[in-house]
Structure 1
């Protein structure tokens, strides 16, 4: 068991417009399992600059960053590492003695999950920070034929042009690989919505849904019912959270410990 909370306890946190429970449950479960003197708390804010200044001033060790802050936070940091610089999107901040460095563990999680998949054309819905990470991971892994579907024309076109992909305003048309990187299907107002039409799902081979909550979105249920290969938001969330945990603590949990933390976080 970890020590009681005291002056030496290190704080990690998350910033999101709609804070969830996955990160808090995942990280705190592993702190307990490994006896680490850390605690993790989810936050939201309307003052991003103030929140980042607080991380620096209070010595908060790490911060997960979710929409809509993944791009807006970049000018407030001291530097970017790994794929965060290329993607221009940050989902993880590490505080090294007052120096705030940005990382992107969404990218590394996606690279790992898509590695065994066949390199087929894809249709990706979304253009935000997470979409940047997923689309870049796909192209870097050899999925070079694809289309970005995004209502935000400026963001969608910019992402597509940077990666050498096509752009369209709506998620219409068929592709062997369908990828949802929007809130459609997420717990809340859009939780009953289907990110792609049934006809598109029927024509696809593989479906990826980056939505982590609920664990089974309408898109995933439809894809599984149609016998399609799927990559789930829960899988993405676990791998990216594990990478964050290692960055924050320098400790890599065992596979069984990670599985137990994932089950607890999703429970």
Structure 2
């Protein structure tokens, strides 16, 4: 199927992130081309979020993916929240219908999908490091997947206890001496940039754990994921989560759903063989 050349009827979709990368653009544009859709996708960053969302609304841009640090700050700038985004109080996707903006959270459903395909045991405790917008989605996914014995580890004395209380978890301002069977990182530790070499949990905790989740997607092989794989632990990587949430965004933006084979093909193009192979095993 041939994609139409870019013209006045081409629909634009975009992302807003504090640290924009290329993987999202590669995945969305690959799917547009493969399905012959007259869309184009471009990543942006901004130092003026209200102005950026105002331009998104006024220019009729169809969809916008929201990444940290904007997932919570964007909420007052849109018109309505889809129920899961409202409950989680975090938005990672905005749909623009003729200037009316609806906020969604596709992080939540992506994490739930990966949890269902994983060996994670809901009867066992977990540690979750972080309390921002993505942490809210992951905590919600864990709670609704049946996990009840969780501890939120976050320095923020407001958002940390609030997130823990919302789902009946415990809160600690810093890592405890003892780990847990499931370790979850929802902070920038390990992300490309100044935190690239920092491991979110100590080596001893990783070796004692049964499973590790790291939602950092750039790179997929964070220091934490590398340590977990070296220790023979099952993992969920941020790249896997990013692909699944992006595919749900794609369907919201275009109204069409790519099949499993095409999703894996696009994941291979955007994120490489490891992510594609792991998704093929999970989906």
Q: Which residue of 2 aligns with 1:118?
A: 121
After the TM superposition, which residues 174-253 of structure 1 pair with which residues of structure 2 at under 5 Å, given as runs?
A: 174-253=179-258
Gaps of 5+ in 2: 273-283
Q: Give the aligned length.
A: 267
Q: Give SS of 1:5's match.
A: coil
- TM-score, normalising length: structure 2: 0.93
Match of 2:162 among 158, 163, 166: 158
Instruction: Select between 161-170 and 99-108 the one with higher mean Cα deviation.
Output: 161-170
Q: Which residue of 1 aligns with 2:37?
A: 36
- TM-score, normalising length: structure 1: 0.98
Using the alignment, how far apart are the partners of 1:183 and 1:171 within structure 2? Answer: 16
Determine if the alignment matches structure 1 residue 27 to structure 2 residue 31: no
Shift of 1:124: 0.2
Q: Which residue of 1 aligns with 2:76?
A: 75
Using the alignment, how far apart are the partners of 2:199 and 2:74 within structure 1? Answer: 31
Q: Which residue of 2 aligns with 1:128?
A: 132
After the TM superposition, which residues 250-261 of structure 1 pair with which residues of structure 2 at under 5 Å, given as runs?
A: 250-261=255-266
Q: Which residue of 1 aligns with 2:10?
A: 9
Q: Give SS of 2:158's match.
A: helix
Q: Give SS of 2:247's match.
A: helix
Q: Which residue of 2 aligns with 1:144?
A: 148
After the TM superposition, which residues 83-122 of structure 1 pair with which residues of structure 2 at under 5 Å, given as runs?
A: 83-116=84-117, 117-119=120-122, 120-122=124-126
Check conservation: 1:82, 1:104, Cα contact below 8 A.
Answer: no
Using the alignment, how far apart are the partners of 2:236 and 2:140 within structure 1? Answer: 17
Shift of 1:84: 0.3
Q: Which residue of 2 aligns with 1:262?
A: 267
Using the alignment, how far apart are the partners of 1:212 and 1:199 within structure 2? Answer: 23
Q: Give SS of 1:196's match.
A: coil
RMSD over aligned Cα atoms: 0.9
Shift of 1:171: 2.2
Shift of 1:263: 1.2
Q: Give SS of 1:153's match.
A: coil
Gaps of 5+ in 1: none
Using the alignment, how far apart are the partners of 1:243 and 1:76 within structure 2? Answer: 22
Write out the 4+ residue segments of structure 1 that deviate beyond 6 Å after TM superposition: none
Check conservation: 1:122, 1:175, Cα contact below 8 A.
Answer: yes
Q: Give SS of 2:9's match.
A: coil
Using the alignment, how far apart are the partners of 2:19 and 2:233 within structure 1? Answer: 30
Check conservation: 1:179, 1:209, Cα contact below 8 A.
Answer: yes
Shift of 1:82: 3.0
